[in-house]
């Protein structure tokens, strides 16, 4: 059996597979031709994906992210790509609720007022009674919906195609005008790149909130800036385009915009779930069983 190259922080205790360590910067100390299974470090630099081309006997790349677009350009024919579906659902859903509440209730304004001792009491919009459209009906989208349901809201799920309990993405022009909150939880591919453009934002109602916890390029940054700077909509972003967002980018100082630095999945809930997934995938690989979360591309 070939070696599995795995970051130490997700290294399983027992796997039945010979393991070697890969450092956060992508470096490793094992013969490249011995590696058959590779887990790139979480949110690592480009080098962690460039490694893929240097592993001639590689069979499987197991990502620690739900998104997989960064790995695709480096993936040779015949190498199986698996994402970390399910690993980040709880963390990302929690942050989504936090961003919504912080934006609606002005928690970011209160935090900025604290050093000056300012008491900026005012009536803010509640999450209760809101009409929410969640764009993306996969694991993360469903986890978001479950956490929002107790807040006495009306939720509409939107997926690529219509099915029981889910409307089609083609229905968005009819859904956006009545939505108070729109949450983006879709993977980034050619069908979702630039999904949120001027037309999308123009269809949203005055004062509505857009929350992006998917990938930055799902939303056109210029369009976001234009609508947010006019005060038409509010925006809460865990992801941006570009990323990291430069310190002098106007998004940082646009009123009604709340930004977190791509930390949706990076919580204490991440590592335990990642270790379970890696252990299961290694066991499946060793026994020849079908792998989970295989990406068709």
Identify the active-site residue in 227, 249, 262, 297: 262
End-to-end CA distance of the chain: 27
Contacts of 278 (CB under 8 A, 6+ apart): 6, 10, 11, 12, 39, 62
State the virtual CA torsion across 228, 233, 238, 241 in degrees, nearest 10. -40
In the annotation, is 262 catalytic?
yes
Sign, CA dihedral 223-229-235-238, equals positive
Query: Going edge to edge, which strands form the sheet with 3-6?
Result: 19-21, 3-6, 35-38, 60-62, 80-82
Listed in order, strand segments (DSSP E) in the chain are: 3-6, 19-21, 35-38, 60-62, 80-82, 131-135, 154-159, 166-168, 181-184, 209-212, 234-237, 257-259
d(CA 215, CA 1): 36
Rg of the chain over Cα atoms, rounded to whole angstroms, equals: 21
The whole-angstrom separation of Cα 72 and Cα 295 is 10
Q: Which two tokens stand for residue 108?
A: 């970011």
CA-nearest of 116, 121, 144 to 132 is: 144
| C-alpha dist (Å) from residue 233 to 96, 102, 169, 225, 239 | 17, 15, 21, 10, 17
Instruction: Show which residues are catalytic.
Output: 262
């Amino acid at each position: 059996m070939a070696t599995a190259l795995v970051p130490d922080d997700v290294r399983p205790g027992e796997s039945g597979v010979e393991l070697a360590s890969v450092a956060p910067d992508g470096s490793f100390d094992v013969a490249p031709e011995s590696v058959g299974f590779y887990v790139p470090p979480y949110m690592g630099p480009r080098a962690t994906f460039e490694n893929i081309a240097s592993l001639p006997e590689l069979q499987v790349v197991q990502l620690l992210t739900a998104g997989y677009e960064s790995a695709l350009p480096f993936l040779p024919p015949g190498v199986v790509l698996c994402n970390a579906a399910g690993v980040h659902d709880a963390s990302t859903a929690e942050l989504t609720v936090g961003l919504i509440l912080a934006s609606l209730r002005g928690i970011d304004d209160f935090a900025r007022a604290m050093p000056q001792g300012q008491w900026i009491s005012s009536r803010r919009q509640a999450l209760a009674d809101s009409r929410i459209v969640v764009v993306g009906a996969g694991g993360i989208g469903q986890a978001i919906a479950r956490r929002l349901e107790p807040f006495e809201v009306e939720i509409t799920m939107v997926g690529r195609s219509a099915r029981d309990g889910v409307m089609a993405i083609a229905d968005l022009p009819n859904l956006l005008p009545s939505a108070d909150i729109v949450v983006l939880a879709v993977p980034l591919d050619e069908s979702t790149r630039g999904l949120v453009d001027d037309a999308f934002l123009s269809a949203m109602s005055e004062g509505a909130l857009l929350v992006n916890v998917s990938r930055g390029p799902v939303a056109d940054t210029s369009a976001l800036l234009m609508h947010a700077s006019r005060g038409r909509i509010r925006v809460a972003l865990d992801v941006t385009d570009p990323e990291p967002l430069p310190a002098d980018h106007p998004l940082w100082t646009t009123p009604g915009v709340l930004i977190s630095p791509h930390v949706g999945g990076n919580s204490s809930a991440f590592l335990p779930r990642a270790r379970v997934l890696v252990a299961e995938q290694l066991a499946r690989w060793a026994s020849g069983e079908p792998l989970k979360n295989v990406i068709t591309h």
